[in-house]
Amino acid sequence: MIGAEQAVAWGLAAQMAEDDAFDNEVMALARQLATGSIEAQLATRRLVRDPATHLDDQLVREAKEQGALGRTGYFQNRLRSFSAKA
């Protein structure tokens, strides 16, 4: 078994939290995800629930999803907001 620090170091986990802060960290992440793009969440769900058998096929599916997401109003608004800050 590997610990949390090793999981983060290997890229298996994005972050870790102390036991006493775990619930608050989970809720903060849930709130962040809830304010994001529902289209992106649904695309991720499709890709995870029905993965391709071969890596090349999966990468093609992901590229198609990304292309479609790039045409959504959510992405366009976020891109304009980012560009205005630059």
pLDDT reading at 1 higher than 80 = yes
Q: Length of the chain, please?
A: 86
pLDDT reading at 26 higher than 90 = yes
Tell me the pLDDT tens digit for each residue of 33-78. Answer: 899 899 999 999 999 999 999 999 999 999 999 999 999 999 999 9
Cα–chain center distance at 22: 19
- Residue 86 pLDDT class (50, 70, 90 cuts): confident
From the list 35, 20, 46, 30, the residue with the least C-alpha distance to 74 is: 35
